[in-house]
């Protein structure tokens, strides 16, 4: 009997103690409630390839751990992270459904129900309007915004089946293209505009004599920011940069962009943000950057940073190490697009509702092909409208294929064309009326600006002035083509974007992606 009592004592007492501890210990030190100990763990599946997701319309709790019954210890929600880079390498099936171990902007957060993600969606542009051009066929998958499978994992648009891969833009009319991925289906409504002469005009502006050619480096960057190298393991920068010219003007760092940490050693372009910037737009302190995973590709991502809240030029680099509260605030002000067609990514602009992209190809010299213009929602990065344009000087024998352009509003775009055979730059205005973009040459400068045949890297317009950015050089030109000002900085880093905000020029540099403001004798105190 005594043996039985002792046996019951040693069995019941620990159970009673565990029962009391479970219900009365505070959450922080309660290992069963806070997820430190899981009595009935759920089986976890680990993926060899990263799963990239998009947020759905509703917010869900994020848990520290999971069991076979569901999430354990909800400590935050998805509301601060829904616009960021959402990825996962692990999932688990529970009685409450499938959960994914969520990583946001490269940092592991916790477990979330897959109902948080957009699932079983194939979305494409609502409207596609093509200019008539017998020398161009539209790649129909360019109109895809994203594909998410039944678990919310984004799928490469190349895997989508189409009723036809390319749509010839010779015959006017309205047509329907069918897209399919497994059980997901959608259609694209294509309108080929009827006017065959649309975009055919005359380039007859008299060029204004421009500056003598200046030195610049050709090819890719010859230098980098101090820590962007193997010796320093590409660690975040700890100091801002200042670059001076010989007239006491200088560029100063405004914002180092974070390097998005990859979850796998060899991520696919769909899952990798950057690290190559190609273009920027800046509106009301909202910075949008086009990023590509490697040179000379035409699909990438757009990332928007709210610099009204990300005001420190250094902190946003430290996504993996910053304090939790700071990470939540930073993630709240970073928005990442799906993987989408951007062309070379140099020609982008923003309005209140939309991001506009002229998706030209840097692999083309001056073809008679059409060029794509994307109207992308700033709210969710979905392609709302897609147009094509062509600009020919009298005929297709003298095309004007634009590698650099900027958008002023939803109905106005400026572009520049390097007429290398005549040693001049032409400036063009394209005005949209309905679905038609009508070109007019408004100016020209008789100069190649730089030596070494170095290409124009970025272009924008503000207050009736054009800004032409080459590597280490910025020229400010009147719309008719007269030189106003020239800056030359010796950074030896590629210029990857130009923007003007409040009459102040901003330059994006490569190696590390970095936004700098140019300050001259008039505005250096501001």
Residue 257 has pLDDT above 50, yes or no: yes
- Residue 521's pLDDT band (boundaries 50, 70, 90)? low
Q: Is residue 310 scored above 50 in pLDDT?
A: yes
Rounded to a whole number of angstroms, the CA Rg of the chain reads: 27
- Pairing mode, if any, of strands 299-306 and 334-336? antiparallel
Tell me if residue 470 falls in helix, strand or coil.
strand
* Across 37-50, average pLDDT: 86
Is the distance from CB of 428 to CB of 400 less than 8 angstroms? yes
Whether the per-residue pLDDT at 30 is higher than 60: the answer is no
Distance of alpha carbon 514 from alpha carbon 510, whole angstroms? 7
425 forms beta bridges with 418, 445
Average pLDDT over residues 194-210: 97
Domains within the chain, CATH numbers bracketed = 25-116 (2.30.30.170), 121-192 (2.60.40), 200-519 (2.120.10)
Has residue 270 got a pLDDT over 70?
yes
Structure confidence at residue 20 (pLDDT): 56
For the segment 297-325, the average pLDDT, to the nearest whole number, is 97
4 CB contacts (<8 Å, ≥6 apart)?
A: none
pLDDT tops 60 at residue 90: yes
CB 340 within 8 A of CB 145: yes
pLDDT band at 126 (very low <50, low <70, confident <90, very high): confident
Task: Give me the sheet containing 61-67, strands edge to edge.
Answer: 44-53, 86-94, 97-104, 107-113, 61-67, 70-77
For 343, the token pair is 């062309």
- CA separation for the pair 430, 408 (Å, rounded): 10
Average pLDDT of the residues in 138-142: 98
pLDDT of 526 reads 46
- Determine the Cα–Cα distance for residues 54 and 338; give it in Å rounded to an integer: 8
What is the residue-averaged pLDDT of the chain? 93
Torsions phi, psi of 332, nearest 5? -60, -25
Q: How confident is the model at residue 6 (pLDDT cuts 50, 70, 90)?
A: low
> Using one digit for the tens of pLDDT, what is the confidence trace for 396-454?
999 999 999 999 999 999 999 999 999 999 999 999 999 999 999 999 999 999 998 88
If you search the block for the tokens 């294929």, which residue do you land on?
A: 401
pLDDT for res 525: 47
Tell me the two tokens of residue 431. Answer: 């005005």
Q: Name the 3-class secondary structure at 311.
A: coil
Listed residue (165, 167, 164, 147) closest to 156, CA to CA: 147
26 has a pLDDT exceeding 70: no
Nearest to 359 by CA among 343, 348, 341: 343
Best CA proximity match to 525, nearest among 252, 246, 240:
252
Say what the pLDDT of residue 391 is.
98
**Is pLDDT of 516 > 70?**
yes
Band (pLDDT 50/70/90 cuts) for residue 29 is low
**Going by C-beta distance under 8 Å and a sequence separation of 6 or more, which residues neighbour residue 309?**
329, 332, 333
Q: Enter the tokens of residue 510.
A: 């490569």
Q: How far is CA 234 from CA 275, 317, 512, in A?
A: 11, 11, 9
pLDDT the model gives residue 290: 98
- Could you report the per-residue pLDDT of 363-400, keeping only the tens digit for each? 989 999 999 999 999 999 999 999 999 999 999 999 99
- Rounded mean pLDDT, 334-361: 97
pLDDT: is 158 or 22 the higher one? 158
d(CA 264, CA 475): 42
514 by Cβ neighbours in 10 Å (0-12 / 13-18 / 19+) ranks as: buried
Question: Using an 8 Å Cβ cutoff, are 276 and 292 in contact?
Answer: yes
Q: What percent of the chain shows pLDDT beyond 90?
A: 85
pTM score = 0.92
pLDDT for position 329: 97
Which CB contacts under 8 angstroms, 24+ apart, belong to 362-367?
Answer: 362/296, 362/403, 363/296, 364/401, 365/401, 366/399, 366/400, 366/401, 367/135, 367/399, 367/401
Query: DSSP class of residue 366?
Result: S
- When pLDDT is cut at 50, 70 and 90, the band that residue 7 belongs to is low
What's the CA gap between 175 and 512, in Å, rounded? 45
């Amino acid at each position: 009997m005594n043996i039985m009592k002792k046996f019951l004592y040693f069995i019941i007492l620990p159970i009673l103690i565990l029962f009391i501890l479970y219900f009365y210990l505070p959450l922080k030190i309660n290992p069963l409630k806070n997820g430190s100990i899981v009595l009935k763990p759920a089986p976890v599946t680990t993926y060899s390839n990263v799963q990239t997701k998009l947020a759905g319309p509703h917010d869900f709790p994020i848990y520290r751990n999971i069991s076979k019954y569901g999430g354990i210890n909800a400590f935050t929600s998805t509301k601060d992270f829904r616009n960021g880079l959402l990825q996962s390498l692990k999932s688990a099936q529970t009685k409450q459904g499938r959960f994914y171990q969520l990583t946001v902007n490269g940092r592991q957060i916790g477990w979330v129900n897959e109902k948080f993600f957009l699932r079983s969606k194939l979305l494409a542009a609502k409207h596609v309007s093509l200019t008539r051009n017998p020398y161009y066929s539209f790649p129909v998958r360019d109109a895809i915004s994203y594909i998410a499978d039944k678990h919310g994992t984004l799928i490469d648009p190349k895997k989508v089946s189409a009723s036809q891969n390319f749509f010839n833009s010779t015959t006017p009319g309205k047509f329907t293209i069918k897209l399919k991925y497994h059980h997901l289906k959608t259609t694209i409504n294509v309108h080929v505009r009827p006017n065959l002469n649309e975009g055919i005009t005359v380039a007859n502006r008299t060029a204004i004599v421009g500056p003598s050619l200046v030195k610049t480096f050709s090819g890719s960057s010859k230098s980098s920011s101090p820590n962007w190298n193997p010796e320093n393991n590409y660690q975040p920068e700890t100091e801002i940069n200042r670059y001076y010219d010989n007239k006491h003007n200088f560029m100063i760092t405004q914002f180092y962009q974070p390097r998005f940490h990859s979850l796998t050693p060899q991520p696919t372009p769909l899952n990798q943000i950057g690290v190559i910037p190609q273009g920027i737009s800046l509106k009301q302190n909202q910075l949008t950057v086009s990023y590509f995973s490697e040179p000379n590709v035409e699909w990438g991502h757009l990332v928007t940073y709210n610099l009204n809240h990300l005001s420190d030029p250094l902190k946003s680099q430290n996504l993996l190490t910053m304090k939790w509260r700071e990470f939540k605030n930073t993630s709240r002000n970073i928005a990442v697009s799906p993987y989408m067609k951007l062309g070379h990514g140099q020609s982008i602009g923003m309005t209140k509702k939309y991001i506009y992209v002229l998706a030209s190809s840097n692999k083309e010299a001056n073809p008679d092909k059409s060029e794509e213009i994307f109207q992308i929602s700033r709210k969710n990065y979905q392609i709302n409208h897609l147009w094509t344009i062509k600009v020919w000087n009298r005929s297709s024998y003298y095309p004007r294929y634009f590698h650099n352009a900027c958008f002023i509003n939803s109905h106005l775009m400026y572009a520049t064309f390097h007429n290398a055979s005549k040693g001049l730059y032409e400036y063009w205005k394209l005005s949209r009326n309905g679905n038609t973009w009508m070109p007019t040459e408004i100016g020209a400068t008789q100069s190649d600006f730089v030596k070494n045949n170095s290409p124009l890297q970025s272009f924008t317009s503000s207050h009736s002035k054009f800004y032409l950015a080459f590597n280490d050089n910025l020229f400010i030109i009147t719309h008719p083509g007269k030189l106003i000002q020239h800056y030359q900085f010796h950074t030896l880093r590629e210029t990857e974007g130009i923007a003007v905000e409040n009459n102040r020029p901003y330059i994006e540099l490569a190696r590390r992606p970095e936004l700098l403001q140019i300050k001259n004798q008039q505005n250096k105190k501001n």
